[in-house]
Amino acid sequence: MFGWNQWLVVVLGALSLGAVSARAGDEKPQVGFIDRVYKESGGYEARYVVFIPHDYDGKKPFPLILFLHGSGQKGTDGHKQVGIGLGPAIKKQEKTFAFIAVFPQSHKGGWTADSEDGRRALAIVDEVAKQYTVDAQRVYLTGLSMGGEGTWSLAAAHPERWAAIVPVCGGGDPKQAAKIKAIPCWCFHGDADQVVKVKQSRDMIWAIRQAGGEPLYHEYPGVGHNCWDRVYATPDLYEWLLEQRRILKRAETHPDTPAELTDLWLAVCNAPGSAAGKKALSILKGGRLARANADELVKALELGHPAELMPLVLDVVKRHLDHPRAAWLLTQVCVSYAYDESPKAPRAFAEAADLIAGRFAASPEIYHFCEHLGIVAHPRWAGQYEKHLRAILSKNRDRRVRCVAHFALASVVQNSGETRHDEAERLYAQFVKDFDGRTQYPALGVEEDLRARAEAQLEDLRTWPRMLGKPAPEIDGEDLDGRPMKLSEFRGKVVLLSFWATSCFPCMKLIPHERSLVARLKGRPFAVVGVNDDRPEVLRKALARNPVTWRSFKNKRGDGKAITQEWKLLGLPTLYLIDHEGIVRKRWIGSPPTEELDREIEKLVEAAPQRK
């Protein structure tokens, strides 16, 4: 996610709006920050704060924001939670802030949906909605750090409550992505965060997109854990929230303005299948995008990367190559195709990449171009852009760009095939030497993370050749039903050993093809054997939607040892191809091209003795 951090949630279900003292018809209600006490049925009391806009009179319904603080503000004093994130942002604009804001306080240190604090936060929102005139269609949820985690959790548990969510630098559970995908979401994180790694937000956004959602994501380059000051200080954030119910109204009343382009873009990103989203897409394709200038595009691309608009975006950028942000704009075009699965890069990516390497190779703003070629994503066609990475390394002096470009180059070379593994090993070794984590700069956290990954890749490249062509190590454990199971039981068959988990979307995407292999090769010496790392209850739900017809080992044994550790896995999915004599013949880290997988399996099955 790239930009400012906030989750805004609008309740889709109606909230009770019974008349109480803060409603119309009574004395002028108290406004500003108000200390409140929530009393539970058992007598337990919890202090919280509610902010009431200065122009609140009980007649007009106001939108509401529920704010969840981080771990440093837990307690029972009822005030610390107002001193971070949203609270200070409101105080700077208190007389004009247009939202009711609710500030509960965590007593035990957690906002997850199954926690006492999480349940109490929802009850407090309901209490406030009864006592004030709240717009039930515009209730938003946001939180930072521990509160960001709570935002993900409460959104997944109660998707019907929220119109939008804004998680800030908090990790979530990618397995819950399908429950969140329909909620408008804007997520924020600093890429140098050492408290909650940026990968956690990236994983959530990736999972939601894979589930069919269209979340927005902004990542602050070089920013650590505290990105929330930037997020909540951004006026556009609150404008965006207020427009969620009528996203195209401003576009209709302000044609050919930056505000129009912003709202059209948001409609395409947030609600692509809705009537508003389709109308906005038609307007943009019908000429509005072609009339945009570079400054308008910068603001639009900070909101999201709808791939269907990127060819038109590229046409505009090519008319503004002298603009100070041209390199960044071209990078955003490329980033939108990072997860493309076609065998050849889309035309817009190829053209933008050539411009980056040919004209902007020295720019500090091409960081994400390199990152999405071999770190965050691994498109099948990434190898076609090895020369672009080499051109960048030859000209760019920015340490952050050089760091990600060098690692991406090593990854691309490694993925080019085993014949280039010696070259990849040299590249990783040089990376460890050049990026030793001793230089203080904003992206040091990224460098340290990549250095650890490079060291792991080096170890793997040095040990994997000793495994190739040798007997596969025995696996002795239990299957998912608790029955004893050994890998050697499958001797005589070609085995595709698949390490997988339901939280790994490439793994789940591979299952239908693995299922087709099992069906197509039925009666021949072939078997798929899995190693799974899920909790039983999570696994049951996932397999009900995407069944697996072969046996899998439980990754963790009763003694606490994990099969993935014994096999020194670098990531999921990882697949080993073992011949009928138990010899390891092939390995793929990540999903292999299905045609290559089928070809390698067929060769070994043909060579195996056929059963009569």
Residue 18 has what pLDDT? 32
Residue 111 has what pLDDT? 95
Same domain flag for 207 and 59? yes
Residue 251 has what pLDDT? 76
Q: Are strands 476-478 and 484-486 parallel, antiparallel or unpaired?
A: antiparallel
343 has a pLDDT exceeding 70: yes
Please provide the average confidence, as pLDDT, over all residues in the chain: 89
Under 8 Å between Cβ of 472 and 489: no
pLDDT single digits (tens) 194-208 = 999 999 999 999 999
Contacts of 472 (CB under 8 A, 6+ apart): 487, 495, 497, 576, 578, 582, 583, 584
Residue 181 has what pLDDT? 82
Burial of 148 (C-beta count, 10 Å sphere; 0-12/13-18/19+): buried
Same domain flag for 518 and 452? no
Residue in 356, 357, 335 with CA at minimum distance from that of residue 346: 335
268 has a pLDDT exceeding 90: no
Residue 278 or residue 153, greater confidence: 153
Band (pLDDT 50/70/90 cuts) for residue 23 is low
In a domain, 287, yes or no: no
Residue 16 has what pLDDT? 32
Same domain flag for 398 and 535? no
Q: Is the peptide bond before 573 cis (omega within 30 degrees of 0)?
A: yes
In a domain, 311, yes or no: no
CATH number for the domain that contains residue 218: 3.40.50.1820
> Considering 241, 267, 285, which residue would you say is the last residue of a domain?
241
**Measured between alpha carbons, how far is 252 from 312 in angstroms, rounded to an integer?**
22
> What is the count of structural domains for the chain?
3
> Considering 182, 216, 241, which residue would you say is the last residue of a domain?
241
In a domain, 415, yes or no: yes
In a domain, 191, yes or no: yes
High-pLDDT (> 70) share of the chain, %: 92
Residue 292 has what pLDDT? 95
Same domain flag for 509 and 449? no
Under 8 Å between Cβ of 165 and 140: yes
Same domain flag for 385 and 489? no
Residue 250 has what pLDDT? 61
Return the structure tokens found at 603.
């060769």
Band (pLDDT 50/70/90 cuts) for residue 8 is very low
Same domain flag for 569 and 432? no
In a domain, 309, yes or no: no
pLDDT (average), residues 553-560: 89
pLDDT single digits (tens) 578-593 = 999 999 999 998 888 8
Whole-structure pTM value = 0.61
In a domain, 461, yes or no: yes
DSSP for 212-233?
Answer: T---EEEEETT--S--HHHHHT
In 323-469, DSSP assigns E strands to: none
Half-sphere exposure of 125 (CA within 13 A, CB side): 27
In a domain, 69, yes or no: yes
pLDDT single digits (tens) 46-98 = 999 999 999 998 888 899 999 999 999 999 999 999 999 999 999 999 999 99
Residue in 189, 214, 211, 198 with CA at minimum distance from that of residue 503: 211
> Considering 186, 213, 241, which residue would you say is the last residue of a domain?
241
pLDDT single digits (tens) 377-418 = 788 899 999 999 999 999 999 999 999 999 999 999 998 888
Domain that holds residue 50: 32-241
pLDDT (average), residues 316-324: 97
pLDDT (average), residues 477-498: 96
pLDDT (average), residues 557-564: 88
Same domain flag for 104 and 63? yes
13 has a pLDDT exceeding 50: no
**Measured between alpha carbons, how far is 340 from 346 in angstroms, rounded to an integer?**
8
**Measured between alpha carbons, how far is 270 from 612 in angstroms, rounded to an integer?**
58
Residue 244 or residue 204, greater confidence: 204
Contacts of 390 (CB under 8 A, 6+ apart): 409
Q: What is the dihedral of CA 378, 382, 383, 386, to 10 degrees?
A: -110
**Measured between alpha carbons, how far is 393 from 370 in angstroms, rounded to an integer?**
10
**Measured between alpha carbons, how far is 197 from 445 in angstroms, rounded to an integer?**
9
Same domain flag for 100 and 230? yes
Same domain flag for 493 and 413? no
**Measured between alpha carbons, how far is 336 from 349 in angstroms, rounded to an integer?**
8
21 has a pLDDT exceeding 50: no
Residue 50 has what pLDDT? 98
pLDDT (average), residues 119-143: 92
What is the number of helices (H) and of strands (E) in the chain?
23, 15
Residue 15 has what pLDDT? 31
Contacts of 108 (CB under 8 A, 6+ apart): 74, 115, 116, 117
Under 8 Å between Cβ of 51 and 32: yes
pLDDT (average), residues 167-173: 95
pLDDT (average), residues 570-577: 92
In 40-191, DSSP assigns E strands to: 45-52, 62-68, 100-103, 134-144, 164-168, 186-190
CATH number for the domain that contains residue 484: 3.40.30.10
1 has a pLDDT exceeding 50: no
Same domain flag for 219 and 87? yes
pLDDT (average), residues 546-559: 91
**Measured between alpha carbons, how far is 356 from 405 in angstroms, rounded to an integer?**
13
pLDDT single digits (tens) 420-457 = 999 999 999 999 999 999 999 999 999 999 999 999 99
pLDDT single digits (tens) 507-539 = 898 999 999 999 999 999 999 999 998 888 788
Residue 11 has what pLDDT? 28
17 has a pLDDT exceeding 50: no
In a domain, 528, yes or no: yes
Beta bridge partners of 486: 476
Band (pLDDT 50/70/90 cuts) for residue 168 is very high
Same domain flag for 510 and 417? no
Under 8 Å between Cβ of 317 and 290: no
Residue in 136, 160, 162, 170 with CA at minimum distance from that of residue 68: 170
Residue in 60, 84, 57 with CA at minimum distance from that of residue 72: 84
Return the structure tokens found at 181.
């995908």
Same domain flag for 481 and 400? no
